[in-house]
Amino acid sequence: MSSSNQGIPGLPDLTHPTELIQFGSQLLQASLVLVFLVLALGMAIALVSFALRRHQQENVIFIGEWVFRYSQILRGLQHLTLVLVLLVVGFFLSSTLGNRYHHWEQAKVVQVAQTVAGDKLEQIAPQVRYITQEPFTYSTQVNGKIIKVNDTREVNRFLLLAGSQIQVKLEQNTDIQGRSAIYRIDYGADYKVINRLKDIKNFFFEAPPPDGYSLLANYKVERSGTRLEPVNPGDYGFPFSLQPGEEANFRVTYQAQGGPRWVYNAAGQMLSNFRLTTTANFAPVDFASGIVPNEIKIDRRSTQYTWIFNDNVSVKNPFGVFTNTAPIRNTGIMPRLLLLAPALFLWWLLLLYLSVPMSLKNVAIASGIFFACLLTLTYLARFMNAELAWTMISLVFLSLSWGLGSNRSASVAVIICSIAGAVLPVFGLLVPFSGLTLSGASLLSAVWLAVRHWYSWYSFPSEDRAK
């Protein structure tokens, strides 16, 4: 299994049985250590009480003070234990969701890539080849002497095309497996050849079919309406004669199927009187290789690109059209938010503890509300904008948080803590300006705590208790 299918490397995932068993054993060990510490403190107080049994008055004062402190420690340990349990459980829940979301994002990227994956169809410009005699000199040994020999050899040379008028119609279908797109191409091109040589009249018109096709049908090469036949099977070189100063017109047509990209390769030739028009009867589509078309026409059913090169234009890269897919944006944002969720929960809980009295029941309910809202956001973000989803969820979150206060003043304090400690931080991790939003949330938290504890701008009766 690939790493992308396993999720984010190094993070625990409770959907994996091995990690779940390991987590349970570590939790059991931590619980035993905590219980041992509490019992050890109780036994220490008992031993001190036994040692001071002869000093009754001092014993009563000492034991009373330590029993009071011990009860406070036990109450504090209850809250600390609950918060630690909620943090640990929340961390494993968040990491599991982060792994699942990461896996879903990678699967989505693979799915989009498969829709446009495959070999491209590349049409290479035809060449007009001729053979000429070229003198050359070589050295050889005769009777022990090295002599130079002047000879001639046949060399292939190429004649530039005088004009190219190409019409390409593209249809897009899905292959049998439904994984990628395939193109159906109807190709028709007219080429003009002018013999500007004085002593050459025999040529070969070499017009190969496109590279990368899976099906080629009705391939024809015609000269002035007369179909040309290749000399050898599988050879796409067609011999013809052309007197000096004369011109000939050739037409190449075929239907082909292949990968989801069609490009035209000039093969290093200079293009003159060149016009290529491609009509793609599907969407979305875009031009390839960054060679901007001279004309672009778009209607509801098709997109037409036209490249026009009038005189002596060299184009290095193949150019044409390809299926354009919408970019997959904002990947990795939700996994990052889920990994930081326990820290956000601790931030929010700390603000609540410093603002309103909190009972164990309210801490447990508040944690359930927080992680339930994050779970809802995780799955809503797959179908809609994450910022919009969190805006709607935060309204529910604030409405439920209102019940943590015992009266109106305490409830308003809870709402302020919830906005500064949960709503804004989560929203800040979803938007591009995360640093600015988190800074604003931290400043709001600090201002609220200063107003709540140092100044008398906002206060409520000390006897109020959370529900």
Of residues 430 and 69, more confidently modeled = 430
What is the gyration radius of the CA atoms in the chain, in angstroms?
Answer: 40
Residue 465, pLDDT score: 40
Q: What is the pLDDT of residues 144-159, one digit of tens each?
A: 777 777 777 778 888 8
Q: In the prediction, which pLDDT does 288 show?
A: 78
Distance CA 124, CA 263 (A): 9
> Of the ranges 68-72, 157-161, 184-188, which one carries the lowest mean pLDDT score?
68-72
CA 69 to chain centre: 55
Phi, psi of 77, rounded to the nearest 5 degrees: -65, -30
pLDDT tens column, 72-105: 555 666 777 777 878 878 887 887 777 777 777 7
d(CA 450, CA 465): 21
Mean pLDDT of all residues in 119-145:
81
pLDDT average, residue stretch 211-221? 89
Q: Is residue 162 within 8 Å of residue 269, measured between CB atoms?
A: no
End-to-end CA distance of the chain: 50
Which residues neighbour 179 within 8 Å (Cβ) at sequence distance 6 or greater? 114, 115, 117
Beta bridge partners of 247: 194
- pLDDT surpassing 70 at residue 5: no
Q: Please give the Cα distance from 44 to 30 (Å, whole number).
A: 21
Q: How many other C-beta atoms can be found within 10 angstroms of the C-beta atom of residue 43? A: 10
Q: How far apart, in whole angstroms, are the C-alpha atoms of residue 103 and residue 11?
A: 13
Give the per-residue pLDDT at 330: 66
- Report which secondary-structure segment, H or E, holds 339: helix 333-355
Per-residue pLDDT band for 167 (boundaries 50, 70, 90) equals very high
347 near 355, Cβ under 8 Å? no
User: In a 10 Å sphere around its CB, with 0-12 CB exposed, 13-18 middle and 19+ buried, how is residue 311 labelled?
Assistant: exposed
CA distance 259 to 276: 20
Confidence of residue 221 (pLDDT cuts 50, 70, 90): very high
What span, in angstroms and rounded, lies between the C-alpha atoms of 274 and 192?
10
The Cα 130–Cα 136 span in angstroms is: 18
Instruction: Judge whether 163 and 274 are in contact, CB under 8 Å.
Output: yes
**pTM (predicted TM-score):** 0.57
pLDDT at 385: 85
Angle CA 128–133–136, to nearest 5? 130
Q: Where are the beta strands (DSSP E) in 213-312?
A: 213-223, 226-227, 237-241, 247-258, 261-265, 270-271, 274-280, 285-287, 295-298, 303-309
Q: Give the Cα separation of 243 and 220 in Å (integer).
A: 24
Instruction: State yes or no: pLDDT of 378 exceeds 90.
Output: no
Backbone angles phi, psi at 304, to 5 degrees: -120, 125
pLDDT at residue 290 is higher than 80: no
pLDDT at 466: 38
Q: What is the DSSP string of 124-182?
A: EPPEEEEEEEEEEEEEEEETTEEEEEEEEEEEEEEEPPSEEEEEEEEEEEE-TTSSSEE
413 within 8 A of 451, measured Cβ to Cβ: no
Cα–Cα distance list, 82 to 32, 70, 127, 279, 312 (Å):
15, 18, 80, 66, 79
